[in-house]
Amino acid sequence: MSANHLDSPLGSNDEHSEFPATELLNHGVSPDALALIAGDLGDAAYRVDSFAENLDWIRRISQSGTAVTLVILRERPGDPPEVLVQCTSGLKAVSDEHQSMEFDLPLGTEPLARGLTLRGSARLQGVIITFECETLGSLLDGDGRGSVLRARLPFRLYRLQRRDSFRVPVPSSQGVFITLKAGFRHLENLKALDLSCGGASVLVRAPLEAVHMGKRFPAAIVKLGPHATQDVFKVDMLIRHVRLAPPGLSQLLGPFPTPPRPAVAPTVRTGPGGHARPAGGPASRDAALAAVGALLQPELLQLGIEFERMPTQLERNLARLVNELGVNLITRVRDDR
């Protein structure tokens, strides 16, 4: 069947995309799309083998209106994949009878042929769904541009369940570090005490005013893995809990860095015989802030941190690490009995 004349049982070929999240990823490639292009859909343990369960997840994505990250590739043996489309889309409809589904495409998309590789990912109530399938071609609008893409139901689907409440201690050899704010030594490379799929607990020696409950740290940094092999991700973080840490944990931290002595601001004179006054500008403001910081009393604190709006790759890596640490913990407890 020609892609120019697809007989779709699911929708009309004269409808434009009305899904608000449908857009080309023009400003670079998102981490989600990069993982899909590389074919990283998930570990074998997360694969759903039941066709009925696959179909149920696809229906739930369609019914929820959840945005789906799509990449469409032309693959040839021996050559790197050619990326034809990267976009966010909506799963419009699912047909049990025809074993197919339809996605919105950005307006102006060139017609897409049958037999291309389609990979997608979506977040659905704390569950990450990734899948791979084959295209059946695109429906054309009146201008001859593709607006709706048909595809077979997935032949590969992975379900990654986030378990935010499941926390595991992090061994010192694992190397999980948090930087809340770069440039502040007491807020950099904080070692995670425990970890979950949605956050971490860290120890910090800092003024309470600097890390109070509800404080947000945009573009904070998570490092997973030991030494130079660390995966580094930027993510917004929220301080959910703050409590005084037991004094015995102080050995896990070095001494609190001494704040720099405030620089003496340069002075200017108003004229002959005039009175000297400090010069204004950023240098004087920084000196004033440093003087205030020197008066703040650092405390040994344990912070509960929530990771907000994580990239899919970080969610996957956290889930894998938490699962591995959990299995190791259970094994150690069992062996000690």
- Token pair for residue 44? 């074998």
Return the SS3 of 112: coil
127 vs 160: CA distance, rounded Å: 6
pLDDT on residue 89: 92
pLDDT digits (tens, 9 = 90+) for 225-257: 765 456 889 999 999 989 888 776 666 665 544
Q: Which domains does the chain possess?
A: 3-161 (2.30.110.10), 168-263+278-336 (2.40.10.220)
pLDDT digits (tens, 9 = 90+) for 174-190: 778 999 998 888 899 99
- Does pLDDT of 37 surpass 60? yes
165 vs 311: CA distance, rounded Å: 19
pLDDT digits (tens, 9 = 90+) for 81-112: 899 999 999 999 999 889 999 998 888 888 89
At residue 217, φ and ψ (nearest 5 deg) are -125, 100
Residue owning tokens 């981490």? 31
